Structure 1
């Protein structure tokens, strides 16, 4: 049975393959800390919350040089120029601002969240898929404040499910599920088993939009996709589901603009067939997805929050 891929709803939780410095952040992934962050943000202006977030993230990068070095190595896979230490600092600073917005919106209405979205591109394809009632697969990366996309989808009446692996703290999984529910977004916790495969397939068959992250190495990878200066092993299980249910696949990104508001971009629909060799079909589908996602990452590289090593092998796809 194909495996599902990397967590679609995580808040950049540490990965076991990350350097030792990443483990330092694991105690912060507790529901109590997240609840405290939202509580504090309730009484502060957005700019102050973002400033605190940026300062905290930059301090972490300063004291954990090995952690910041991983970010630099990941950027080299994308950028067509030498990567400087300042580039990593830009990533951490923007990450802190994104977390600040996440906490800020946690104590405010869904209308406030939607109000931060200034630009949307590609809505027509999503609306058409919704009218067909067959569901759709939305694939994104650790880019910008991707959680904000759920607030926009619910405003259009699109029933959306975010896939997530269990958080280090079970209470945090519940907390984050409740956070999304305020925006009318459902959370489905999955594992690497056949039951998860069937649960996600059921959501698609019900006509729901299923969102997942795809830009992390997978321990059950079947192919590796090309990046501008390297390769990334990825799982193909979620794409196999799209083939089985004959649903369209969209690449979606949510990135911050210079004016501190957000842009939501959605690709035209992709349709994949399982005719011929399954392995070849899935490798081709993966390439098409990343051919759309990588330019978005390259254009907004300072908002690519990849804190785990991406180097690795895999079957070339």
Structure 2
């Protein structure tokens, strides 16, 4: 193949190289998506989606030509170099050699680096090239054969230290790359995020005083390439070796950042540049429902803890997904199943058509590593954005038409009866924030709002509390005001017998009738220390505060999320029964009752059951979902 390419005219060969790049762009979808996501992270602040897609295509065309040029190496001569190779800063080489300590030509994987390395070997000075073995032995053998053809000395990484030192002492040049540092590199800031960079050149320069010349290769047009050399980089020493390595490496990286910004199509983008960074960005997509947001926040908390266990910090950002109107939202959910794994990257026209401008603008700018959502309406947005950024996608609740196979992890409660799949985690309860720390903080926040007990100081350390969580209407279920009235009177009856105060909150789903009953029964009740009508004056962390202070909690039966939060607080939870519940609601209530997480009872039996439990004080049981979720998250990380 190499002989055939060398037989063709140079311009025709490179024309075929561009077509090869087109083919790779069309069919190498996995690496193309990595390249796109990396360009977006690095240059997305100044390029829109279409421009990033165009730049990705330009990179592949340049890369195709670079591959073809490898086969030119055996036929290179000075006439070819003089005709097609331009130099900027060539005089810096002689200046660097004048020190007599050798020279390190350092670069990143950009332009036709294999051809450029050989060109350096043809410039009349001894040139050593530090190489790593390729995955494919035959390719490795071919490249080294071509490199040696023009007198380039090969230094294998396994013998690098001794051979590199010898070369510098002979006042020879060494070619090295600093990007793709892998596990052994140092983390430095590269386009705003931590990336691993090789430290070998900096370590040699610090120890032996050799100058470093940064080199960048770019294609001008067709066969014309340009080698850009910068003034010798003199490492700075402070006496702290590790700090010197880090600071000098960071300064060098900034030099290459500027060159990459000038000639981005030449840089090799299709590898995971920021893989070894110690920071992750987490994006929560909210559908505007408080219960769904709390579940997403609970998952983000578990995720942050899992990342912290690996020494990785995280930032969590929340964005409410606002559609232009309800009809577009429904249409988007119906058609989102047509979105493809790779086809949507760089397009996003569907999101632009259905989302409000401020939402769309934010989502196209952000570069998350992990995306979390809860609810079927935002699941398609999660999928499209995760493919756009190659982020991990985690969905809470069944994603409906989007299907479960598209996401890295789907967390679904058991009462939804999901299909058992590798990426599906079935939980007993709904995700929530109710741990000891959250409950304690929430309780302290609502303390100032508690009604004082006469002139007594505000002290609840020895107080007993009964919490009442009033939900509201849901699909096919209507919480009746008469039932709530009976429940309220039962609670007041128990509070008198056990000397407990009462904490009450409604929800945004509570009807006017339910709110009227709550006011009528508790507004002037001496034992009611806290009454919140959510639709009139909702207090932040109200639910968590009530759960934190109460020893016994009474819940209406329709809200799986609210009952799960109560159960996770590890308090005695009573759920009063009422007819009209859907089959799915009945399933989770029966399951929680069988497992001993709740006491499910008729309204008329509520007071008796509460008194029995208060007297006997049985052990409290709660689901162990958080442990399972953490294990599942560890797997996808």
Q: TM-score, with normalisation over the residues of structure 2?
A: 0.41
2:128 aligns to what SS in structure 1? strand
Over residues 114-137 of structure 1, what are the superposed CA-to-partner deviations in whole Å (9 max), with x where a residue is unaligned? 134442111222112223331111
CA drift of 1:197 comes to: 2.0
2:183 aligns to what SS in structure 1? coil
Farther off after superposition, 241-250 or 126-135:
126-135
CA drift of 1:273 comes to: 4.2
Contact 2:85–2:225 (CA under 8 A) maintained in structure 1: yes
CA drift of 1:110 comes to: 2.4
CA drift of 1:196 comes to: 2.4
Aligned residue among 38, 47, 50 for 1:74: 38
1:241 aligns to what SS in structure 2? helix
Over residues 238-271 of structure 1, what are the superposed CA-to-partner deviations in whole Å (9 max), with x where a residue is unaligned? 3111211110011001211136411111111111
Runs of 4+ in 1 over 4 A off after TM superposition: 313-316
1:250 matched to which residue of 2? Answer: 213
Aligned residue among 272, 278, 289 for 2:235: 272
| Correspondence list, 1:55-134, <5 A | 55-79=19-43, 80-83=46-49, 84-103=52-71, 105-134=72-101
Over residues 149-174 of structure 1, what are the superposed CA-to-partner deviations in whole Å (9 max), with x where a residue is unaligned? 33443443221111111122334333
CA drift of 1:203 comes to: 1.7
| Correspondence list, 1:8-27, <5 A | none
2:42 aligns to what SS in structure 1? coil
What is the CA RMSD across the aligned residues, in angstroms?
A: 2.2
Q: Does 1:153 align with 2:116?
A: no
| Correspondence list, 1:12-51, <5 A | 36=1, 38-51=2-15
CA–CA distance in structure 2, aligned partners of residues 217 and 150 of structure 1: 19
Aligned residue among 168, 180, 188 for 1:224: 188
Contact 1:222–1:314 (CA under 8 A) maintained in structure 2: no
- Would the alpha carbon gap of residues 168 and 259 (structure 1) be closer, same or farther in structure 2, given more than 3 Å must change? closer
CA drift of 1:53 comes to: 2.0
Q: Which runs of 5+ in 1 are unaligned?
A: 1-35
1:187 matched to which residue of 2? Answer: 154
CA–CA distance in structure 2, aligned partners of residues 78 and 125 of structure 1: 29
- Would the alpha carbon gap of residues 55 and 64 (structure 1) be closer, same or farther in structure 2, given more than 3 Å must change? same
CA–CA distance in structure 1, aligned partners of residues 241 and 275 of structure 2: 23
CA–CA distance in structure 2, aligned partners of residues 147 and 65 of structure 1: 24
Contact 1:46–1:101 (CA under 8 A) maintained in structure 2: no
CA drift of 1:187 comes to: 1.5
Contact 1:137–1:247 (CA under 8 A) maintained in structure 2: yes
CA drift of 1:98 comes to: 1.8
Over residues 222-250 of structure 1, what are the superposed CA-to-partner deviations in whole Å (9 max), with x where a residue is unaligned? 232332x4232213233111211110011
CA–CA distance in structure 1, aligned partners of residues 148 and 79 of structure 2: 15
Q: TM-score, with normalisation over the residues of structure 1?
A: 0.79
- Would the alpha carbon gap of residues 178 and 299 (structure 1) be closer, same or farther in structure 2, given more than 3 Å must change? same
CA drift of 1:201 comes to: 2.0
CA–CA distance in structure 1, aligned partners of residues 199 and 249 of structure 2: 7
Over residues 33-55 of structure 1, what are the superposed CA-to-partner deviations in whole Å (9 max), with x where a residue is unaligned? xxx2x111122111221122222
Aligned residue among 170, 173, 189 for 1:209: 173
1:67 aligns to what SS in structure 2? helix
2:275 matched to which residue of 1? Answer: 312
CA–CA distance in structure 1, aligned partners of residues 151 and 11 of structure 2: 26
Q: How many residue pairs get matched?
A: 275
Larger Rg over CA atoms: 2
Contact 2:130–2:160 (CA under 8 A) maintained in structure 1: no
CA–CA distance in structure 2, aligned partners of residues 113 and 58 of structure 1: 26
CA–CA distance in structure 2, aligned partners of residues 139 and 302 of structure 1: 19
CA–CA distance in structure 2, aligned partners of residues 72 and 78 of structure 1: 10
- Would the alpha carbon gap of residues 254 and 187 (structure 1) be closer, same or farther in structure 2, given more than 3 Å must change? same
1:156 aligns to what SS in structure 2? coil
1:257 aligns to what SS in structure 2? strand
CA–CA distance in structure 2, aligned partners of residues 109 and 85 of structure 1: 34
Contact 1:223–1:235 (CA under 8 A) maintained in structure 2: no
CA–CA distance in structure 2, aligned partners of residues 197 and 159 of structure 1: 18
CA–CA distance in structure 2, aligned partners of residues 245 and 264 of structure 1: 26
Contact 1:136–1:207 (CA under 8 A) maintained in structure 2: yes
